[in-house]
Structures are given as C-alpha cells and as structure tokens.
C-alpha cells in the first residue's frame, strides 16, 4: 500500500482500536484489552488508515526524557504481512527520534505452545533491531523485555 502514514489518534478512533485488539484475540487477552481501555487517555496512540479504515495502531509512553515504551501494536488481519507494520515501525522510530528518544523498550511473549503467532512477532521485532534484554515468568508464560537504541 502506497503512502501509508502514521497519524495521531483522534478521539473517534478509540473504539475502533479496541475493536482491532478484540479481533486480534490470539494476541491480546481480555485483561490486556480492559487495561488498554483504562490507559487509552494516558498513553500516546498512533494509527494508520487505508482510506478511512484504521489498519494499524501503536501505543507507547515516554518513560523518561530519552526512553519510550511500546505497549501494543497491531495490524488488521487482512492487512498483515504486507510490509505495513515494517513501514510504520520505521516512521514511528523517526517520530520518536525527533522527540529526542534514544531508546525504545517493549515487552513480548517468549515461545509458548498456546501462542504460536508470537514467533512472527518476535522475529518482526528482531528484524527491526530489537534485542532481548531480560525475561521473567508471569503465570505460565515467559515475558521478554526487548530494547532498541535509536
């Protein structure tokens, strides 16, 4: 898709982002979605649209002057694997660099038989230069902390 662009979220986009998270229920649990709804006003959200349809979102928080944390990102299933995530990740990094952000951190799931789709996600982040910094157990899953220096 040509000319796809990162845009700031508008108030009317909120319910659609939550709808996309619900569609991506293999990745986002009901608890995560509830947490996202609670945090929707305190985090920074960006979207990208194909005509009027939101096809991608990302959310993050500036955790210090030079460090941002990505909370969630998603591409509408029919638009996945078409390079949209890659193009928009690069645009997001450029935007963060302009705000003097030097390091991006995120959490993602390690290998788990119930969540095979996260293999693509981990590879996606690795291909975008994120490295595993740490890991911890939460119930029966292992959470990875990944970082990238900009």
Ligand X SMILES: CC(C)(COP(=O)(O)OP(=O)(O)OC[C@H]1O[C@@H](n2cnc3c(N)ncnc32)[C@H](O)[C@@H]1OP(=O)(O)O)[C@@H](O)C(=O)NCCC(=O)NCCS
Q: Using CB under 6 A as the criterion, which residues of the chain lie in contact with ligand X when the complex forms?
A: 24, 27, 72-75, 80-86, 108, 120-121, 123-124, 127
Residue 100 C-beta: closest distance to ligand X, Å = 24
Nearer to ligand X, 75 or 144 (CB): 75
Residue 87 C-beta: closest distance to ligand X, Å = 7
Residue 25 C-beta: closest distance to ligand X, Å = 10
Element (H, E) at 9: none
Q: Based on the number of CB atoms within 10 Å of its own CB, is 133 exposed (0-12), middle (13-18) or buried (19 or more)?
A: exposed
Q: Based on the number of CB atoms within 10 Å of its own CB, is 141 exposed (0-12), middle (13-18) or buried (19 or more)?
A: middle
Helices marked H in 1-113: 14-23, 30-39, 84-98
Nearer to ligand X, 1 or 97 (CB): 1
Residue with the CB atom nearest ligand X in the bound state: 85
CA dist 57 and 139 (Å) reads 27
Nearer to ligand X, 38 or 65 (CB): 38
Nearer to ligand X, 46 or 74 (CB): 74
> What is the sign, positive or negative, of the torsion defined by CA atoms of 9, 144, 102, 62?
positive
Residue 27 C-beta: closest distance to ligand X, Å = 4
């Amino acid at each position: 898709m040509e000319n796809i662009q990162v845009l700031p979220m508008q108030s009317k986009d909120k319910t659609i982002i939550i709808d996309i998270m619900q569609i991506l229920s293999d990745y986002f649990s009901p608890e995560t979605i509830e947490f996202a709804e609670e945090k929707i006003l305190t985090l920074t959200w960006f979207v990208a649209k194909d005509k009027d349809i939101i096809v991608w979102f990302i959310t993050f928080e500036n955790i210090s002057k030079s460090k941002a944390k990505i909370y969630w990102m998603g591409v509408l299933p029919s638009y996945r694997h078409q390079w949209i995530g890659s193009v928009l990740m690069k645009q997001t990094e450029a935007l963060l660099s302009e705000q003097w952000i030097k390091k991006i951190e995120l959490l993602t799931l390690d290998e788990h038989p119930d969540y095979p789709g996260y293999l693509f996600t981990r590879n996606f982040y690795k291909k975008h230069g994120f490295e595993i910094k740490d890991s911890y157990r939460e119930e029966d899953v292992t959470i990875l902390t990944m970082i990238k220096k900009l």
